[in-house]
């Protein structure tokens, strides 16, 4: 076995990591993860970590699922690859499309397959623009998104996203994509109540539509709750007001459920959780629990009928759209979620326990707010609980906390000074206790370091 130092050296020499400062990483040395089982990871030095992020929000059914390995292996022996272009298809992709249509909201019965969440949002951009062309409204092309949204890292994905650091690299966004305020009450709500702020944030959509002219606006894209932005859950007034505005101006809703889909909120899709009727849903991540890359777009009948009946050739697709081995992984993943009643279990047992246990951390002197729904949550680290003032961002308090978590055997991610958690859906109550205990130790260590900073 290659030793850690050699692996780190080769990694630094030959491998540019996603969203990484390569220079700093080379100095620090990367962490080499070697194996995983259930909700735990082991690094190459044998350290055991509780994976509080389900990989990257994706390993919903946990690691080590032999039945997914077997399903993929069997499919690869029979038909490892074939495309679905040129009048062809194959059973796994057909079965998966039908399976997802059955799980999706009732008005959505069609799927377009992609290889990732980013590709799903590229597909969305082309599909909504094509839809409005076919409806005889060729000016309805602009897509409205939100600041601090995450919709992937391809050119369309990064443009649709609202991350300023991403826009700076690559001269983004591309034309006809604009951004409005995000519903981040804790950071931007000032002295408004969450309900007042939710309405205000939603009404910025109406203002933008009126500014652009409703005949120029194709769609609004949003995550049901922002994930990578910091697990930002809109106030209760937000989504009902957005729904009203979208209906009034006939603007399509693209709901990016790459994180929230496949059980994260205790519903199969967050569209159910927030009572939304999207026109398009982006999926990826939990679709295969990350075992094989795959994404897709679930399409409402209103849009699918137009694309199917009037488009002629829809000149869009990917070599790996509906890849048979990925489809086999997705089908077995969904089978596990159903057989083990994991989504119901999240809704009725684990999420209420997780959220209640997590709220106990709100008493900690470093913690300004704990928020979450289902099995996803955020912990805001602040200097002053009353004013919500943060520590000087140069300190990197969130990064300290993340590193202390690792020392205590827990993977939590930091977005600035917001700690975020999204464990595998199969986490047990005992394991929730373990997660909270470890998080508390890390918070204590971080607080000590803040006091002496």
Ligand X SMILES: *Cc1c(COP(=O)(O)O)cnc(C)c1O
Residues that bind ligand X (CB under 6 A): 57, 116-118, 150-152, 223, 227-228, 256, 258-259, 284-285, 295
Radius of gyration of the chain (CA): 22
Is 249:214 a contact under the CB 8 Å cutoff? yes
Question: Nearest distance from residue 285's CB to ligand X, in Å?
Answer: 6
Question: Nearest distance from residue 14's CB to ligand X, in Å?
Answer: 22
> What are the tokens at 274?
């927030």
Question: Nearest distance from residue 107's CB to ligand X, in Å?
Answer: 22
Question: Nearest distance from residue 115's CB to ligand X, in Å?
Answer: 8
Of 152 and 322, CB closest to ligand X: 152
Is 85:93 a contact under the CB 8 Å cutoff? no
Of 158 and 202, CB closest to ligand X: 158
What is the number of the residue whose Cβ is closest to ligand X? 117
Question: Nearest distance from residue 174's CB to ligand X, in Å?
Answer: 17
Of 233 and 367, CB closest to ligand X: 233
Of 223 and 417, CB closest to ligand X: 223
Question: Nearest distance from residue 45's CB to ligand X, in Å?
Answer: 28
Of 294 and 306, CB closest to ligand X: 294
Of 110 and 288, CB closest to ligand X: 288
Closest CA to 231 of 107, 138, 355: 355
Question: Nearest distance from residue 154's CB to ligand X, in Å?
Answer: 7
Of 57 and 262, CB closest to ligand X: 57
Of 241 and 257, CB closest to ligand X: 257
Of 38 and 227, CB closest to ligand X: 227
Closest CA to 226 of 378, 416, 49, 434: 378
> What are the tokens at 187?
């950071």
Question: Nearest distance from residue 88's CB to ligand X, in Å?
Answer: 25
Question: Nearest distance from residue 152's CB to ligand X, in Å?
Answer: 4
């Amino acid at each position: 076995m290659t030793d850690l130092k050699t692996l780190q050296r080769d990694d630094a020499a030959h491998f540019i990591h996603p969203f990484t400062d390569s220079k700093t990483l080379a100095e620090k040395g990367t962490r080499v993860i070697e194996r995983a089982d259930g909700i735990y990871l082991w690094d190459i030095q044998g350290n055991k970590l509780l994976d509080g992020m389900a990989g990257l929000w994706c390993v919903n059914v946990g690691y080590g699922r032999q039945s997914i390995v077997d399903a993929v292996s069997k499919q690869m022996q029979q038909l490892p690859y074939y495309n679905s272009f040129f009048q062809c298809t194959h059973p796994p992709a057909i079965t998966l499309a039908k399976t997802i249509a059955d799980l999706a909201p009732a008005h959505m019965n069609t799927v377009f397959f992609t290889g990732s969440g980013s590709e799903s949002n590229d597909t969305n951009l082309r599909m909504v623009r094509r839809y409005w062309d076919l409806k005889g409204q060729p000016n309805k092309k602009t897509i409205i998104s939100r600041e601090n949204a995450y919709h992937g890292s391809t050119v369309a994905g990064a443009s649709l996203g609202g991350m300023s650091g991403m826009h700076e690299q690559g001269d983004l966004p591309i034309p006809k994509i604009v951004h409005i305020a995000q519903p981040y009450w804790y950071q931007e709500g000032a002295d408004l109540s969450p309900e007042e702020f939710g309405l205000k944030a939603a009404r910025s959509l109406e203002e933008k539509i009126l500014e652009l002219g409703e005949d120029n606006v194709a769609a609004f894209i949003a995550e049901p709750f922002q994930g990578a932005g910091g697990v930002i859950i809109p106030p209760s007034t937000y989504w009902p007001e957005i729904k009203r505005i979208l209906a009034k101006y006939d603007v399509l809703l693209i709901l990016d459920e790459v994180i929230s889909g496949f059980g994260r909120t205790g519903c199969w899709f967050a569209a159910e959780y927030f009572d939304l009727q999207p026109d398009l849903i982006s999926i990826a991540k939990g679709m295969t629990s990350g075992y094989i890359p795959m994404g897709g777009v679930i399409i409402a009948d209103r849009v699918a009928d137009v694309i199917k009946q009037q488009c002629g050739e829809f000149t869009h697709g990917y070599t790996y759209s509906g890849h048979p081995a990925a489809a086999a992984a997705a089908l077995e993943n969904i089978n596990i979620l159903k057989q083990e009643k994991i989504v119901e279990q999240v809704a009725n047992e684990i999420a209420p326990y997780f959220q209640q246990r997590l709220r106990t951390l709100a008493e900690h002197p470093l913690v300004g707010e704990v928020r979450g729904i289902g099995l996803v949550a955020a912990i805001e680290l602040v200097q002053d609980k009353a004013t919500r003032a943060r520590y000087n961002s140069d300190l990197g308090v969130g990064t300290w906390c993340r590193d202390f978590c690792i020392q205590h055997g827990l993977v939590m991610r930091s977005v600035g000074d917001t700690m975020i958690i999204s464990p595998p859906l199969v986490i047990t109550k005992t394991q929730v206790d373990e997660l909270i205990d470890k998080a508390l130790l890390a918070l204590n260590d971080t607080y000590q370091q803040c006091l002496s900073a």
